[in-house]
Chain A
Amino acid sequence: MIDALGDPQSVLVLGGSSEIALATVKALPRNRINRVVLAGRASAALTSAVEELTHSGIKGVVTAEFDATNTASHERIIDEIFDAGDIDIVILAFGMLGDQMEFESDPNLAVQIATTNYTGAVSSGLHVARRLRQQGHGSLVVISSVAGDRARRSNYVYGSTKAGLDAFAQGLGDALQGSGAHVMVVRPGMVRTRMSAGLPEAPMTTDAPDVAKAIIAGLRKGKHTIYAPGNLRYLMGVVKTVPRPIFRKLPS
Chain B
Amino acid sequence: MSKNDVTSPLVRGENEELLTGWGRTAPSMAMVQEPAHMEDVQAAIVHAGARGVLARGLGRSYGDAAQSGGATVLRMPSMNTFTLDPVTATVTADAGASLDEILSGIVPRGFFVPVTPGTRMVTVGGAIAADIHGKNHHVDGSFGSHVTSLTLIDGTGAIRALSPTDLLNSNDFWATVGGMGLTGVIVEATFNVIPIETALMSVDTERGANLDELMNKMIDADARYRYSVAWIDSVSTAGRGVITSGEHATLDQLPAAKRSTALVYEPKVVATAPKFIPGGLINKLSMRAFNEAWFRKHPKSRAGDIHSIAAFFHPLDGVQEWNRVYGPAGFLQYQFVVPDTAGHVIGEALARLRAVGAPSFLTVLKRFGPANPAPLSFPEKGWTLAMDIPTGVAGLATTLDGLDELVADSGGRLYLAKDSRQSPEMFRRTYPRLAQWQEVRSSMDPHGVFTSDLARRLQL
CA distance A205 to B377 in the complex (A): 55
- Which of the listed residues A4, A135, A181 has the most CB atoms from chain B within 10 Å of its own CB? A4
CA distance A34 to B456 in the complex (A): 12
Footprint of B on A, CB under 8 Å? 1-7, 9, 29, 31-32, 34, 86, 129-130, 133-137, 175-176, 178-181
- Evaluate contact between B30 and A136: CB separation under 8 angstroms: yes
CA distance A130 to B424 in the complex (A): 28
Known contacts A3-B26, A4-B26, A4-B330, A135 near B70 by CB under 8 Å: yes
- Asked if B258 lies at the interface with its beta carbon under 8 angstroms from chain A, I say no
**Minimum CB–CB distance for A183 against chain B, Å:** 11
Chain B positions within 8 Å of A1 at CB level:
26, 64, 69, 453, 456-457
Chain B positions within 8 Å of A6 at CB level:
391
CA distance A180 to B12 in the complex (A): 10
Known contacts A86-B69, A178-B18, A133 near B27 by CB under 8 Å: no
CA distance A86 to B14 in the complex (A): 23
**Minimum CB–CB distance for A28 against chain B, Å:** 12
Chain A positions within 8 Å of B396 at CB level:
5
**Minimum CB–CB distance for B289 against chain A, Å:** 26
- Asked if B420 lies at the interface with its beta carbon under 8 angstroms from chain A, I say yes
Residue of B nearest to A138 (CB): B69
User: Apart from A6-B391, A180-B27, what 5 extra A-B contacts exist at CB < 8 Å?
Assistant: A3-B26, A7-B421, A31-B397, A136-B68, A180-B29
Chain A positions within 8 Å of B64 at CB level:
1, 3-4
- Evaluate contact between B401 and A3: CB separation under 8 angstroms: no
Known contacts A86-B456, A134-B70, A180-B18, A129 near B26 by CB under 8 Å: no
- Evaluate contact between A3 and B51: CB separation under 8 angstroms: no
CA distance A170 to B278 in the complex (A): 26
- Evaluate contact between B26 and A133: CB separation under 8 angstroms: no
Q: Mark B307-344, 1 if CB is under 8 A from A, else 0.
A: 00000000000000000000000101000000000000
**Minimum CB–CB distance for B385 against chain A, Å:** 18
**Minimum CB–CB distance for A231 against chain B, Å:** 23
**Minimum CB–CB distance for B155 against chain A, Å:** 20
Residue of B nearest to A5 (CB): B397
Chain A positions within 8 Å of B401 at CB level:
31
Residue from B8, B11, B68, B391 within 8 A of A5 (CB atoms)? B391
- Evaluate contact between B12 and A134: CB separation under 8 angstroms: no
Residue from B9, B71, B391, B421 within 8 A of A133 (CB atoms)? B9
Interchain Cβ contacts under 8 Å between A and B, 23 examples: A1-B64, A1-B69, A1-B456, A3-B26, A3-B457, A4-B26, A4-B420, A5-B332, A6-B391, A31-B401, A129-B10, A130-B9, A130-B10, A134-B9, A136-B28, A136-B29, A136-B51, A136-B69, A175-B8, A176-B10, A178-B12, A178-B18, A179-B16
Chain A positions within 8 Å of B63 at CB level:
4
Chain A positions within 8 Å of B421 at CB level:
3-5, 7
CA distance A137 to B453 in the complex (A): 10
Residue of A nearest to B23 (CB): A4
- Asked if B25 lies at the interface with its beta carbon under 8 angstroms from chain A, I say yes
**Minimum CB–CB distance for B10 against chain A, Å:** 5
Which residues from 380 to 439 on chain B have a C-beta closer than 8 Å to any C-beta of chain A? 391, 396-397, 400-401, 420-421, 423-424
Chain A positions within 8 Å of B16 at CB level:
179
Known contacts A4-B63, A137-B26, A31 near B423 by CB under 8 Å: yes
- Evaluate contact between B10 and A179: CB separation under 8 angstroms: yes
Residue of A nearest to B423 (CB): A32
CA distance A134 to B400 in the complex (A): 31
- Evaluate contact between A137 and B28: CB separation under 8 angstroms: yes
Known contacts A136-B29, A136-B30, A180-B18, A4 near B9 by CB under 8 Å: no
CA distance A9 to B425 in the complex (A): 13
Chain B positions within 8 Å of A129 at CB level:
10
CA distance A1 to B20 in the complex (A): 13
CA distance A9 to B397 in the complex (A): 14
**Minimum CB–CB distance for A97 against chain B, Å:** 31
- Evaluate contact between A2 and B26: CB separation under 8 angstroms: yes
- Evaluate contact between B25 and A179: CB separation under 8 angstroms: no
- Evaluate contact between B10 and A4: CB separation under 8 angstroms: no
CA distance A86 to B424 in the complex (A): 15
**Minimum CB–CB distance for A140 against chain B, Å:** 12
Chain A positions within 8 Å of B70 at CB level:
134-136
Chain A positions within 8 Å of B69 at CB level:
1, 86, 135-137, 180
**Minimum CB–CB distance for B453 against chain A, Å:** 5
Chain B positions within 8 Å of A181 at CB level:
29
- Evaluate contact between A179 and B330: CB separation under 8 angstroms: no
